[in-house]
Chain A
């Protein structure tokens, strides 16, 4: 069910902290404590190093690909308090913008749905979230939400652009009245939902409380045309919750405990069709979860144990034999 089709040796000299594929699934970006960001062409099971990007002065936590309609653009965030936006020009990757507006480690970057333009949300350990909007001619407008999460924001994730419930595509030609929203999780154990007001200011719309320790990651599920909005969250407390909101107008979110793990859960990721959730735990395990017909979340695969699995927490002896 889960079979490794490509193993990429990144040659990073320290821990890897993130690995993300581009929109097409043909390029892989990785980042590491060795302060570098690397981009690989991984088509057809190969691995060709396209770029080794140096510019951060600390461990790089996350990378995020912008939608290809804006070109080949990658954002990275680091412990050095910087966010760097990289761009490919004529086959060469270079820094196109550096955002230095945070006072502490920037832990998470996430591009807004392409429909809104080029907007990047950045969550930092200084408790703030900043929103960078490209306004043309190399200018980036910065909006900052201070004190979003006391002692640190760990994750940001945008809501999909399609207003839940509308199956009909917005007509082109005029800006549809999207309501921009994103979710953030932080060291105050909270998930917060933010909404852009009509005056362009960001306002806290909702606090989701269920975790009893740091929220490590939040992931807003892609829209598949259903009226329900879904968010997954995971925490230091080992719990993974799936939050759903059936009625956008009442905006009430109800949590469902997906599972309580014995260790910190670092990362949650939705499949493109929003029906599978990948959960990455501190015990070096990745598990895949799917909602059954009766609404229960079921673990459908333990990636470690899958065929040709990710060589994970196998003992060292076994490692040597392999």
Chain B
């Protein structure tokens, strides 16, 4: 394929391989004249710019020369030390002169570009070559057997390789050996070639054909084999290339007879010794393999002869050829289309008639249409054999599980000679050793349940006080009287305090209220038996007496209060009953101004929330201590949570980290993760390890103390855990990764990762023809209905798929969450040996459809952390049909890859979008007989039963009580609304901090079901639907204010009754999202 062309009748030289960018130098040829008969000469440099798609080459510089050239070469030798990287242009002139030019000066436009000049030769200098080992050495050849060796550093006095050969003849070619630096060859038109050894300073061998018809026009050494060279003959009677091996120099090793007429020039590729270019008087440019004689490529050329041909040293696929029609063309031998080329030639032709408007009509001529031979296709085929430089010899690619696949093509010496070893190596790459060993430890601890020791070790190894605190708090979780120990950690020891109080009592007889009361009590009691006077006078005492006598406690208390007799008032109020006491206490607190009143208030009123909500954050320790001491078990966690939240949102950075301690007390794993993540750089494996250690331990503690559902994992934690699992997997610890991966989640990335991990473990799946993956399978044409309908996916025990009403309810205390993973296999996994969550109940887990038929939607509800009431009833008895209860966990583990049900398929991937391809894929899965469904709705499992294989799904649907399937699925095109809104609520929930907002969001989630119902029934008007989609899109882009605007628009333009059920809810969600900035 032709890349560039230049209209010059010139000799050509490429810039050396080292140079970048690539230049092509041209020097006016001494042997040709064009029709102008001009003998003006010039030296030009063109830049070879492939990013320019036109055929023109950009001329960088032109130097008008007084010489025309027989030969032009460009050597890499640097003449000065100033970093002149352009090398040196060496030209052979007409009159025995050799001229050295500085190409960088030519490019710079300098006038003085000649470095040196020497005319020691006789006659035209036709042969020049640079020694590739010592680039300052140049050999030249001219008439009368003259050969000189020039040292560019000492140009004045050339050397000779030895005595001139006899008889005297022209030297047409000269070439340095490519392997041995002191060997030089020269050749003459007479057909003789001479090999010189410069160390011996004499010719060492003469190569000559017997018939003497060789007329040497080209000479080249083998790029790799030191003893081989080729000679080309210009004689039409013998248009051959001879391959000689000096080890057997009496006859050519091989003769390439591919040209019909004499060969004018040859060039042997330095990049691939199997590529030899030759051009001849038959107007052909051929690329042959001199080692076999085979023609690999014939360049598409015009009918002109080429007299010079050169490989580009830097770009091995590029060559240039100079033709007698005054053109230098640059080609690629990699083939390709020549479509771009023709246009230019057409333009050229039309413009060659003078100008574009030769008839003076004022209208430019259209480009001349060159008649094209219809049959001639414009595609140029590449070389028959791939050139060496595109044969990739080595490669290393990573694959899943930290594996590295490497190959290389090194020849290994064996008895049969050099042999390729076609081996591929699979290596395990481990880069995070500390991370792995810590992860191992953690797993061992989980298995051995040695949590206290583990925490203690962590405490001992802690680098910071905070770290120490966190581990101390975690440790307390596993000890008896955890609350007391928390108090101790906060600096409140009961024993210490007792001592302190005792000390205080001994020291002070002072007016300690408590003590005074005791004293009064003790003084009062002995006097009970004595006579006493009941005064009924008109003073306060008297009034109180009268009130008491009439049983009017209330008035008596009021009187006491009025008289500031607080103690009397309280005592009386006790007698007056609970209500009065409470009121009196309130009044007392209202009046009292002491510093500790608020604390006392809280203690007496049991209003811990008040303390937690309003205490100065500097006193968070005290607040936490109070909560630890007094809070009831059912409110304890919430209060700790609340305090943590306050610390996080209101406190400075130091206090923010302390929030972690509150969350540990609260057992709130999710918030601990959130808080920790905020403070730490999570990208580092070890910092992630730090977090996971704490989380795992805290979860264990929570399971122990609060009987939390072990399967529940929040969004953020799930993300961290899967990140962790990914890291483990990347280090090759597939099993560990599986162990840490949260089980009870339908987050697509986790389901996918689990599937990948299971399969990566290399578990054999016997007899399984097509692997099951948690993706919706797409099928290539040849696939039969394919694996989705495959029997391997059918649940094994279909009769046990559901809980019959009233039968086999989950045991008390078992928490059923909306988020329960439909993937039963994962739950089963948890019971397998060696698995960390050994406390998972092993009874079958009730399954609920992801987006159930029943209100409220199961998806996206926040899992509750706390134990449910004892009288908990299992929710609707519809469960996933992929139940796989009982059974040997081991075998189930093995089947796991096939087990992940279609429901998780659904969750895993949004269906692939093949433009225009939907019908064909979907068609395979389209449920039978569901009229009215849009064709793209092919998966009842989206909304309906979580069944996958379609045949089975229908079966299941039939097996269900009819009333349960009255709800239609949401049409596919609107499903995005549901997923978007639910996703948004989920996001809000995970970042909402106060319970009230959470409640609101939970409620909203439920109430949006009205919307989904309407979508199912397809009763909404198109404008509303459009509006909702617009809202969904604005949610996607996090532009909630835009969403609200659209919302307002919908509400204002639509029928109230149509939208009232859900639009307000949507507004709440959008507002919250906006506020939370999720």
Contact = CB atoms under 8 A, between A and B. Distances in A.
B400, B401, B942 interface centre (most CB from chain A within 10 Å): B400
Contact of B942 (A173, A266, A310): A173
Interface in A153-190: 154, 167-177, 187-190
B427 A19 contact: no
Contacts of B1024: none
Contacts of A310: 406, 408, 425, 427
Contact of A33 (B332, B334, B391, B421): B391
A94 B781 CA distance: 12
Interface residues of B, number: 113
Interface stretch (A2-10, A240-248, A252-260): A2-10
B394, B729, B911 interface centre (most CB from chain A within 10 Å): B394
A303 interface: yes
Contacts of B393: 15, 266, 282, 284
Interface of B: 1, 3, 20-21, 50-51, 53, 314-315, 317-318, 332, 334-337, 340, 379-382, 386, 390-410, 412-413, 420-431, 683, 719, 726-727, 729-730, 747-749, 756, 759-760, 762, 764, 769-771, 773, 775-784, 786-787, 906-907, 909-921, 942, 972-973, 975-976, 978-980, 983, 987, 1036
A259 to B, nearest CB: 15
B408 A30 contact: no
Given A12-B422, A173-B911, 15 more contacts: A4-B426, A15-B420, A17-B392, A21-B403, A96-B780, A117-B914, A128-B337, A147-B53, A151-B332, A169-B748, A171-B979, A172-B979, A187-B50, A237-B20, A310-B406
Contact of B399 (A20, A88, A128, A280): A20
A225 B773 CA distance: 24
A59 interface: yes
Given A267-B397, A284-B393, A96 B781 contact: yes
B337 A103 contact: yes
What 10 A-B pairs have minimum CB-CB distances, sorted nearest first? Answer: A138-B781, A136-B920, A69-B775, A136-B917, A21-B399, A43-B762, A174-B976, A171-B979, A173-B975, A126-B336
Nearest to A186: B50
Given A69-B773, A69-B777, A19 B407 contact: yes
Contacts of B762: 26, 43-44
A249 interface: no
Interface in A21-73: 21-26, 28, 30, 32-33, 42-44, 58-59, 61, 67-73
Contacts of B397: 18-21, 267, 269, 278
A14 B909 CA distance: 41
Contacts of B409: 15-16
A24 B391 contact: no
A146 B395 CA distance: 28
B407 A303 contact: no
Contacts of A276: 398, 429, 431
Interface of A: 1-26, 28, 30, 32-33, 42-44, 58-59, 61, 67-73, 79, 81, 87-91, 94, 96, 103-105, 107, 114-118, 125-128, 133-139, 141, 146-147, 149-152, 154, 167-177, 187-190, 200, 207, 212-214, 226, 237, 266-267, 269-273, 275-276, 278-282, 284, 286, 288, 290, 300-301, 303, 306, 310-313, 316, 319-320
A103 B407 contact: no
Nearest to A237: B20
A125 B413 contact: no
B910 A267 contact: no
A22 B426 CA distance: 13
A30 B406 CA distance: 11
A7 B778 contact: no
B1030 to A, nearest CB: 13
Given A2-B429, A312-B408, A141 B398 contact: no
Contacts of B975: 172-174
Contact of B980 (A28, A115, A151, A171): A171
Contacts of B429: 1-2, 271, 276, 288, 301
A320 B909 contact: no
B769 A91 contact: yes
Given A104-B334, A269-B396, A284-B393, A168 B983 contact: yes
Contacts of B912: 69-70, 114-118
Contact of B337 (A5, A126, A212, A214): A126
Given A4-B427, A71-B779, A135-B915, A187 B317 contact: yes
B386 A151 contact: no
A5 B776 CA distance: 33
B393, B399, B915 interface centre (most CB from chain A within 10 Å): B399
Nearest to B382: A104
5 contacts: A8-B425, A12-B422, A154-B390, A226-B683, A269-B398
A147 B408 CA distance: 32
A232 B742 CA distance: 33
A136 B920 CA distance: 6
Nearest to B377: A103
Contact of B769 (A59, A90, A189): A90
B383 to A, nearest CB: 9
B391 A17 contact: yes
A276 B685 CA distance: 13
A319 B918 contact: no
A172 B748 contact: yes
Contact of A10 (B336, B422, B915, B918): B422
